[in-house]
Amino acid sequence: MRKALIGATILVLAISAIAAYLVLSRDDFSLSKTREIAYDASGFSPRRLVVSLGDRVTFRNESDNPFWPASDLHPSHGIYSQFDPKMPVEAGGSWSFSFEKPGIWKFHDHLASRQTGEIVVLSSTGKVVVPDCKSASSTPGECFQADVVAALKKGGLDAALDRMAELYDTDPRFRDSCHSVAHILGKSAYLAFDEGKEIKLSAKTSYCSYGFYHGFMEEMLQISGDVDGAREFCAQAGKLLASESANAEGACYHGIGHGAADGGDPRAWGDPVALASPGIALCNKVDPTEPHFYRCVSGVFNSIALMFIERSYNLSLDDRGPFEVCKNWKEFRVKNPCYQEMNTLVATLSNSDLSRAIEYVEEIEDDLQYSALAMRSLSGVFPSNFKEPYEDEFESTVRSCKAAREDLVVPCVQGIPSGLMEFGPPGREYEAAIAFCETPGMSKGEQDSCYEAAFGSVRAYYSKEKQKAICSGVDPLRREDCYKP
């Protein structure tokens, strides 16, 4: 690829919500003459509309393909969740929405997220509402996005990642938005990268479950479809960060899978196999060797699970179990990531009740190896909901795992430190992961397996220097298992 990875500050791009936090003159927000936005091959027109509180805006599809106008953030639409038709609008069709909240509402086409726009809704007094991000009533996702992008503009990618770590430590609400905000950074970085700007990668790009790479690769594939470029970027990321993080290249491939399963073909809607198959084929084209193929396909199935959760692209479980879709593939290298990546779907179906979630795993009729793989991955989701202090959470989790079918107890226990690493405070993920393994109630074998998972994650996340420092603080009898020069 022409673009270099090392260099100057990333430019701030228009996808952010930062405009909502600037002090602008009243002239910037003159009421628009229309209450309609057209969509064609070039995107939304006008891309910005200023309306009064309560006005009804109509989105007309003048393109040859379906579109799906919805609130940021992509793909959750969580900033103004009501601003979402919940399904695509066919060519020639339209959708209307009444804006009952003053503010600056950024939106995008869910089927082509690079197409964006914004609607400014004036207050009842005709003024622009500037949200107070310190207020408990503010919209956290929008505020956090604006905050981090402001740091990006001022100091570059490293500064933005530092700001994410600071927000994680100082605002409990940020935890739920961390991965989405990291996606936004990744998308912004790709747009700058595509313009020839240089970016500087560091181990901090692992923050918030490597969301940076997921957003970066999604944007790359949606805009350029450059398979060779995707492979080369991931290889360079892995090489540059080899001494700092063993997982950067794998996370990058996972992001490719995310971007490949975009639901862009309406003929595939309603059929999870048809939605996943093009992504699996693309992963095979990018790199058919392991572990890259596995990491890429895991991104595909992660997207399929989210589609089921959101009922996007006409997907619905109906009477099917959450793992039923995985029976459609014969190869282990495809079935394995499928069973593992249904974890978020099962957690949602069980209302974040680990004991109920385990029952879904116990119902798997496929080979027992898939039950174990699904169990470890599934339990790793639950730390995302843990509240400090963790002792009660840890003890309750151990009891739930111990009540599982005998062959699932160890995989259940092993998933928890992996999840604590994934959802932990940036730079300090290891603290709770290692502490969990001291929870009372585990047998020696279960505890040994727990430490094996925790130490494996430490080696995947951190540089050799940091691994050594972390491992020097564990039980002397376990240091040799923790640090491997």
The predicted-structure confidence for 270-285, as pLDDT tens digits, reads as follows 999 999 999 999 999 9
Does the pTM surpass 0.85? The reply is no
Name the 3-class secondary structure at 98: strand
Flag whether 141 is in a domain: no
**Residue carrying structure tokens 């940076």:** 212
- Which of 32-46, 185-199, 295-309, 398-412 bottoms out in mean pLDDT, i.e. has the lowest? 185-199
Contact 423, 175 (CB under 8 A): yes
Flag whether 70 is in a domain: yes
- State CA 383 to chain mean position distance: 16
Q: How crowded is residue 270: how many other Cβ atoms within 10 Å of its Cβ?
A: 12
**What CATH number is associated with residue 47?**
2.60.40.420
Q: What is the mean pLDDT of residues 298-302?
A: 96
Render pLDDT for 182-217 as a digit per residue (tens, 0 to 9).
Answer: 988 888 778 778 878 777 888 899 888 888 998 888
pLDDT band at 302 (very low <50, low <70, confident <90, very high): very high
Flag whether 290 is in a domain: no
Flag whether 39 is in a domain: yes
Query: What range does the domain containing 52 cover?
Result: 24-129
Contact 83, 77 (CB under 8 A): yes
The total number of structural domains that make up the chain: 1
Flag whether 419 is in a domain: no
pLDDT of 26: 42
Name the 3-class secondary structure at 465: helix
Is the model more confident about 9 or about 370?
370
User: In 104-223, which residue ranges form alpha helices assigned H by DSSP?
Assistant: 140-155, 157-170, 174-194, 207-223
Flag whether 106 is in a domain: yes
Mean pLDDT of the chain: 88
Render pLDDT for 118-150 as a digit per residue (tens, 0 to 9).
Answer: 999 999 999 888 666 666 666 677 788 888 877
Contact 432, 390 (CB under 8 A): yes
pLDDT band at 219 (very low <50, low <70, confident <90, very high): confident
Flag whether 98 is in a domain: yes
What is the token pair recorded at 350? 């069980």
Render pLDDT for 351-369 as a digit per residue (tens, 0 to 9).
Answer: 999 999 999 999 998 889 9
Name the 3-class secondary structure at 219: helix
pLDDT at 467 over 70: yes
Flag whether 113 is in a domain: yes
